[in-house]
Amino acid sequence: MGRKRTIDRDELMAAIERVARRSGIAGLSIDAVAKEAGISKSSVVYDCECKAGLMAAFTRYKMAEHRAGFEALLASYRGQPNARLRATIQKFRTVPTDEEVAMAMLISAGMGEHAECREIMREIIAEDAAQIAEQAGDRRRMLMALLTLHGMAFLEYFGFHRFDQDTRNEILDELMAAAESDPGAAGD
């Protein structure tokens, strides 16, 4: 029996992840992903075009997964001033799992090799910063809170430092107090 001609997008992304975890970004190739997924190389080329396309598709996919999970949390803050920042602060209450750290490292390696992956992340971060600034009464102060959150994420996702839960909560409580004390943009 020959290889399947097409593959579900989730299955393709899972194959990319398995190959990248096993062989690293250097071992990621159209051929390796096709073999892993049990589909033809031309099917992978059709979906992703090249190795950079594999990483870009994977980065978009993982960020869309992250966004979908975040939307439920964001919904709980809708109608409140600084909703996006408050939801982001709340999201950081949970320490990143080893799995999340491994995924961040994998995506980071892709950003190091492929400009398109960097651009995807740049756009996402710019969009978050713009929305937080747009919702804020004191833009500078709310963007400083976002910067603190990204700094915390950088330290933890790259394994430079893990905050104990008490310290994490103290920092996040202070950021949340700042977000709650800001009246938000006029009309919010």
155: its two tokens: 């330290």
CA 92 to chain centre: 13
Residue 130 confidence (pLDDT): 98
Question: Around 150, how many Cα atoms within 13 Å sit in the side-chain half-sphere?
Answer: 14
The pLDDT tens digits of the residues spanning 109-149 come to: 888 878 898 999 999 999 999 999 999 999 999 999 999 99
Ranking 31-35, 97-101, 122-126 by mean pLDDT, the lowest is: 97-101
CATH number of 1-49: 1.10.10
Residues 6+ away with beta carbon under 8 Å from 86: 77, 80, 176, 179, 180
CATH number of 52-181: 1.10.357
Per-residue confidence band for 1, with pLDDT thresholds at 50, 70 and 90: very low
List every span in the chain annotated with CATH 1.10.10.
1-49
List every span in the chain annotated with CATH 1.10.357.
52-181
